[in-house]
A and B are shown apart, each in its own frame.
Chain A
Amino acid sequence: MKRTHIIALVFVAILVASLTVMLGKGFSRYESFESAHAKQGKEFTVVGYMDKEKGVTYKPEINPNQFSIYVKDEKNVERLVIVNKAVPRDIEKSEKVVVTGKMNGDTFVASDILLKCPSKYKNRELEANNGKDV
């Protein structure tokens, strides 16, 4: 075996080993609120839908870096989610939200939120009032 081959193999070994280690601890997993509840204080990623009827609570005059919403996860469990960020624009239009953070009692405290907005790239339904110029 050539020296270069050995070095290449060492690289592969390092890569595999480090990925295994990361899988073990660094990576979060997609969870539901229920399963995150069982492991308080550990970091999770939850995918869900924002409850648009309950809306967004954001009081920038008091704290511009915090808002809260209600999120229903994929198992239909709804929880209050406090996000330590300014409200992202388009949150009302978001179809899906992905929150990363920890469970604190029954509240999910998120350090990050990612929105999936259908309006950006997906076909939009023609707005009903667009039909008026028939």
Chain B
Amino acid sequence: MNIHAIGENVLFGKLGHFLIILTFVTSLTAFVAYFLATTFRKDPQKSSAWISFGRKTFILHAVSVIGVLATLLLIIHQHFFEFKYVWEHTSKDLPAYYQFSAMWSGQEGSTLLWMFWHSILGCVLIFKAKDWESPVLSVVALAQFFLCSMLLGIYVFGYKLGSNPFALIRDTMDIPVFKMNPDWIPEDGTGLNPSLQNYWMIIHPPVLFLGFASCTIVAAFAIASLWVKSFTEWVKPVLPWSLFALMVLGTGILLGGAWAYEALNFGGFWAWDPVENASLVPWLVLAAGLHTLMAYKHTGYSLHATYVLFIGSFLLVLYSSFLTKSGVLGDASVHSFTDLGMSGQLIVIILAFLIPSVYLFIDRTFIKKQIPSKEKEENLSSREFWLFIGSLIFVFAATHIIILTSFPVINKVFGTNIAPPSDIKSHYNNVQVWMAALVAFGSAFTQFFKYKNDNWKKVIRQLLIVFILSIVFTAIISISFQFHRIDFIIMIFSAWFAVLANLQYILQVIKGKWKISGGSVTHIGFALAMIGIIISQGKQQVISINKFGIDYGSGFSQDEIAENVLLYQDEPNEMGKYRVTYTGDSVAGKNIYFNVRYEEMDKQKNIIRTFTLHPNILLNDKMGNNPVPSTRKTLTSDLYTHITSAPLKEDGTPADSIVQDTYTISVGDTIPASRCMVVLEGINPDAHIHDFEKKPKDIAIGARLKFISLDTSYYIEPVYLVREVVATSIPARVEKNQVSFSLIKILPEENKLQFLVEQKLNKFIIMKAIKFPYINVLWLGCFVMVSGIFMSMLRRKKENNKA
């Protein structure tokens, strides 16, 4: 029995909901106060009064956001299953550290996480933003106001505003049990989706949302600058923020990739899933904006573009939350959230920022003509020109991705029914590899041009040696890895060129001054990551190619698709240079670990190395068992092993099984069985039966079956015996394959025979193994790239502190 006193825990829900309403009210108040402070900025006395009021309300707001978060964590931690959110996302057996993952696994929790970071960053700005505090925090507070509205869960004129994470099951679901007992509380929750039960899922969402929140800050500076018509002063403070946003959002995306690689089973770190794309696109646009900002800072060009890109990146963050939270992606993505009926609200939020931004931009550009811009064109041989071109490429890449990702939206708006390309991954790869190559190439030479004007010939002379070296390196890699695709070869070349040219820039031009080499380090990291991607993905090798599958005439090439192999326990299978054996399994709690032994062989088939991997299946009766891959990591390659499926007993442990099938076939047809097959070659009307005395009136019909297995083939003959009126089947058994074939029916009219095939199958697993060569180059590149951005951020922060 599990009956709580009425209202005992419900109090926490009331508290949580009260705090949500408090955050909502304080965000609105802070917005109004900061808005007025900005409006009265010419009147210091009035303005500072509003600022001080705004500060207090914003800090109160931040405290109440933390309060909401703490309350939600508390009800999750205490397993108060009367709350729908707790019941839906957690269960009693969920380890404590995954309670964090559970907290942000729902829409409400992820919104809350986003609000949390807005509050923290907002408080930092209160202390650091100086003159920019009031306009910037107006924007942040407004963003908070809209996010809070998504948690309200109250009805306004019949429209449900937001979804309250503290809602009770009995208030949200109409199920009969409450009629009998209104105080009924579920014994246990439905549990966290097992694929989210992974350590990356504790860290990935907070980092990603910190990235999203810092995009808001960057856009807030841009909007603030347009608003208060201060077009140059915002550059210094926004620069470290934009670097911070780029670094954190980039890290967040990469952590998501690391999770996909380690916990998911598509065998890769990036699947071009709409949800992944939705976070990559704002990052690309932000990177473009950062480059135009640099151009503007040094030359006065590209200011308009910077506004569009920074604000655009934030709007794309909002758009991406619309895509993932509105349910519009429905048929296109495996992991979008389902509609909570907030699509309308999400669209309002986008418009609430889009319309004022567009108004400010158009007003300041065309009507008041206040945004400084230069009449004279950029010089072809100047850094600012190529920075602008580079940004255009980023934007092009982003546009391509966002248009393809938006097809479900386009279909909905225009009533069309366009489906994404059937092989969407290669479509994206084929286009985006060119974008990456262009970006890498540009990142190699652009820095060698000085701002404003420089000499072509000088730059070419400077870069000639590394250019030739890059060709040599590309040739070495292309030949040793046997790359044939021209786009891959060009990508490798551009990446090498970027690595070497940026190294040269650090050593020769800025003379190894680490403090100012952040940009070049970032470019090197990007290029290394690209080399890593091309090699590890382009030359990934499916080890587990199935050699004994029988195609039922589907017309597909088996090489392409037969990447799952069946392994019986203790029966070694040769796959490439490995001899792979499923040697057994062990159970630990809800995890079943399969021991997969790899014996690496040389050309003479001598074993040179042995290791065992332990892929597992996480049992979950509510959401389906979840396989978790296991990867052998070495410096030069990863060997990824994944259990696609395995027959399990009721209690979840692996089991032997017996399969039975009937086949009705004619002479010449084949019956498949495991690792063998038989071909019906003919009918023997007068069959002899071993150890059996035939009587004269008996009718004994034998089926002449050619038994074929991997290493042998011979004839067997099951017999159909009719004595007087009783028919008996005398099966033919093949002991080695534990299979028997019985002739059970003769259909003379159709000229067919019916067979029963029985086969005992030992414990088996179906597994997939893929080798990713040099994937560590990718992770190294990512690390270098993030470090480079960090170095730049430190540098810009220091410059600001000095000023």
**Is B377 touching A4 in the complex (CB atoms < 8 A)?**
yes
Does A60 contact B645, Cβ atoms closer than 8 Å?
Answer: yes
Contact of B334 (CB < 8 Å), options: A2, A45, A115, A131:
A115
B385 to chain A minimum Cβ distance, whole angstroms, is: 7
A58-113 at interface with B (beta carbon < 8 Å): 59-66, 82, 84-87, 89-90, 93, 96, 98, 100-102, 104, 109, 111-112
List the A residue with the shortest CB-CB distance to B265: A89
- Are A23 and B418 neighbours in the complex by a CB distance under 8 Å? yes
Interface 9-residue window, one of B545-553, B778-786, B788-796: B545-553
With A11-B392, A62-B674 as given contacts, are A27 and B378 in contact (CB-CB < 8 Å)?
no
Q: Does A17 contact B (CB under 8 A)?
A: no
Asked if residues B422 and A111 are in contact (CB atoms below 8 Å), the reply is yes
Query: Whose C-beta in chain A lies nearest to the C-beta of B81?
Result: A130
Contacting residues, chain B, for A123 (C-beta < 8 A): 84, 88, 173, 338
Tally A residues with Cβ within 8 Å of B. 63
A47 contacts the other chain (CB 8 A) = yes
Contacts of A93 in B (CB 8 A): 624
Contact status of A64 and B556, CB under 8 A, knowing A26-B427, A116-B331: no
Residues on A with C-beta less than 8 A from B177 are: 126, 131, 134
Q: Which residue of A lies closest to B395 (CB)?
A: A11
A118 → B minimal CB distance (Å): 8
Q: Which residues, 377 to 407 on B, are CB-close (under 8 Å) to A? A: 377-378, 380, 385, 388-389, 392, 395-396, 399-400, 403
CB distance from A29 to the nearest CB of B (A): 5
Q: Which of A66, A104, A114, A133 contacts B549 (CB 8 A)?
A: A66
Assembly CA distance A130 to B81 (angstroms): 12
**B519, chain A: closest CB distance, angstroms:** 21
Q: Which residue of A lies closest to B622 (CB)?
A: A119
Asked whether A134 and B181 contact (CB < 8 A) given A96-B331, A119-B624, the answer is yes
- Answer whether residue B537 sits at the interface, using C-beta atoms and an 8 A cutoff: no
Contact indicator per residue, chain B 637-670, by CB within 8 Å of chain A (1) or not (0): 0000000110000000000000101000000000
What 1/0 flags go to A20-35 for Cβ under 8 Å of B? Answer: 0011001111100000
Is A109 a contact partner of B555 (Cβ separation < 8 A)? yes
Say yes or no: B187 contacts A133, CB within 8 Å.
yes
Closest to A14 in B: B396
Q: Contact check: which of A29, A66, A85 meets B551 at CB < 8 Å?
A: A66
CB within 8 Å for A27 and B550 given contacts A65-B563, A123-B173: no
Bound Cα distance from A125 to B564, whole angstroms: 35
B179-193 interface with A by 8 A CB criterion: 180-181, 184, 186-187, 190, 193
Q: Pick from A59, A62, A87, A126 the residue with the most CB of B within 10 Å.
A: A62
Q: Chain A: which residue is nearest B374 at the CB level?
A: A2
Q: Tell me, yes or no, whether B623 is within 8 Å of chain A by CB.
A: yes
Instruction: Point out the residue from A8, A26, A119 that lies within 8 Å of B623, measured CB to CB.
Output: A119
- Is A126 within 8 A of B623, CB to CB? no
Interface assignment of B626: CB less than 8 Å from any CB of chain A:
yes
Which residues of B lie under 8 Å from residue A134 when comparing CB positions?
177, 180-181, 184
Identify the closest chain B residue to A91 (Cβ).
B624
With A26-B427, A61-B759, A84-B561 already in contact, the answer to whether A47 and B331 are too (CB < 8 A) is: yes
Point out the residue from B377, B385, B659 that lies within 8 Å of A59, measured CB to CB. B659
A98 contacts B421, CB within 8 Å?
no
Task: List 8 A-B pairs, minimum CB-CB distance, nearest first.
Answer: A61-B674, A45-B419, A63-B549, A90-B624, A122-B338, A86-B644, A64-B564, A131-B177
User: Please, could you name 8 A-B residue pairs with CB atoms under 8 Å apart, sorted by A?
Assistant: A8-B392, A27-B418, A44-B419, A61-B673, A61-B764, A62-B550, A64-B564, A98-B331
The residues of A with any CB-CB pair to B shorter than 8 Å are: 2-4, 7-8, 11, 14-15, 18-19, 22-23, 26-30, 43-45, 47, 59-66, 82, 84-87, 89-90, 93, 96, 98, 100-102, 104, 109, 111-112, 114-126, 130-131, 133-134
